[in-house]
Structure 1
Amino acid sequence: MSADAAAAHISGILDDAARWCTELGERLRAAHDGTPALSTEDLSALWQPIFDRLDAEPAVLAGTGVILADDVLTDRAHWLEWWQHRPADTPRFLQVDHDPDSVGFYDYAAAPWFTAPRDTGAGVVVGPYVDFAGTDEYLVTLAVPVRSGDRFLGVAAADLRTGEFERALLARVGPLRPPTALINGANRVVASNTPLRLPGTLVTAGPLAADPGREMRAAAPLGGLPWRVVREPG
């Protein structure tokens, strides 16, 4: 097995998640276009597809849903229709503080997984990061913009567990040797088969950086994203 095989498998995971987010965004757009006054009650039409998807991907998906732009809903100015899931459990709605005057206000409009799709019109993958607000797991968030004509409705997104990427590496390149890692567009480790490359660290950090001749090099790019699987030269 090889780093190329690991990259292909991980690309499949990401492509699958992107297709789901696109489908979920289309459902949000249909709900918006189907009523003159979209409300939180109308978002219940998304529940069953969300629950089905979470049940189908328990190892990969930690959560999914839609995050609305300001004043898209008639009854709430600020809203996440977000459901979390742990394997062998039932989906759980994520409760956050929607009051902008509160010290605990969840200002998602400033988050890169919201601002980048809004400003560029393209999907984005952000992370890895520890989700202290919800699962306490290492996650990456994939988000796509949702529009109705010229109006930005928000984003459809999914939180993916980085453990699934690590399993993909271990299954295809084995543990420890050769040291191999999945690197995001910011040159941070998403997953690896070695403790020398912990999730969230830069590829220039750690013992290997002391010897430029042993820096890790690209083995296989991931189509559609500035991610790559890299391997230390042997």
Structure 2
Amino acid sequence: MPVARARGGPAAVERCARRVAAAVDEVLAELDGLRAAAADCWTRAAAEGRRPGAAELAAVRGAVGELLARPGSRWFGCGAVVAPGALADADLHAEWWYRGARGAGERRLRLVLDPADAEFYDYRVLPWFARPRDEGRAVVAGPQVDLLCADRYVLCCARPVVVPGAGFVGVAAGDVPLAALERLLVPPLRELAGEAALLDGEGRVLAATTPALPVGSLARGLLADPAAGRAGVPSAAVDWTVVRG
């Protein structure tokens, strides 16, 4: 079998897709500590026969700091975002922190969560919150433009926080700039012969081995091209496809 075919045939594309799925799992696993810290807020309150208050959710700050401050961290921001009615004193609440510019430390993100306000940020309808709530599984949503930086694409990774007796109480989530994931997503693509790209369900480019397909651009034609080799990434958290041109 020619080498080029071995690196570009269906088996090679599927192998690449499995490596991408493993990278997705690796990133989502980093949220385990944050999810556990958030769940503990409800577990401790339930032991006293009550729901926690918003101030108690500040207990996740330690897990947030560990994610943001660790050497080589890929996370730009992370935190816990609460389901309506899960807290005793707030219908909507987000305990979210992000890395300040040039080593300025962690900063709290203040969101407008009053439905009567014109700038209301309704996270309840966004995929990174709605899909873990409705489907009970982790999700990697995006790419989307970062709230804090209009020229940066991020992926929002979220895991449901489910507590016995309380059910779904919110998500543990974090934003990862697409640029920070290149070292995980691009190497599997480079194992394929020719040009290759990783696309989301809308045909938007997440990573590619050619500058002709910049990150964030739309390449829907590749998804429909019968001549292109392709394989879906076998992870329930994403709707991604590896495409080899």
Please confirm whether the aligned pair reaches a TM-score higher than 0.5, indicating the same fold: yes
SS at match of 1:140: strand
**Residue in 1 that maps onto 2:210:** 194
Q: How far apart, in 2, do the equivalents of 1:212 and 1:185 lie?
A: 15
Say if 1:222 and 1:86 are closer, same or farther in 2 by CA, change over 3 A.
farther
Say whether the 8 Å CA contact 1:58–1:86 is kept in structure 2. no
2:230 equivalent among 205, 218, 221: 218
SS at match of 2:30: helix
Residue 34 in structure 1 maps to residue 44 in structure 2: yes
Question: Aligned letter for 2:42?
Answer: H
**Residue in 2 that maps onto 1:140:** 155
Deviation at 1:12, TM superposition (A): 4.3
Say if 1:34 and 1:103 are closer, same or farther in 2 by CA, change over 3 A.
same
Deviation at 1:87, TM superposition (A): 7.3
Deviation at 1:8, TM superposition (A): 6.2
**Residue in 1 that maps onto 2:107:** 92
Q: How far apart, in 2, do the equivalents of 1:18 and 1:25 lie?
A: 11
1:75 equivalent among 89, 99, 117: 89
Say whether the 8 Å CA contact 1:59–1:87 is kept in structure 2. no
Say whether the 8 Å CA contact 1:6–1:168 is kept in structure 2. no
Please give the root-mean-square deviation of Cα atoms over the aligned residues, in Å: 3.0
**Residue in 1 that maps onto 2:126:** 111
Say if 1:110 and 1:213 are closer, same or farther in 2 by CA, change over 3 A.
closer
Mark the runs of 5 or more structure 1 residues left unpaired by the alignment: none
Q: How far apart, in 1, do the equivalents of 2:23 and 2:108 lie?
A: 24
**Residue in 2 that maps onto 1:54:** 68
**Residue in 2 that maps onto 1:163:** 179
Q: TM-score, normalised by structure 2?
A: 0.77
Matched residues, number = 225
Q: TM-score, normalised by structure 1?
A: 0.80
**Residue in 1 that maps onto 2:33:** 23
Report sequence identity in percent: 29
Say whether the 8 Å CA contact 1:189–1:199 is kept in structure 2. yes
Deviation at 1:173, TM superposition (A): 5.5
Say whether the 8 Å CA contact 1:128–1:199 is kept in structure 2. no
Say whether the 8 Å CA contact 2:76–2:176 is kept in structure 1. yes
Mark the runs of 5 or more structure 2 residues left unpaired by the alignment: 1-6
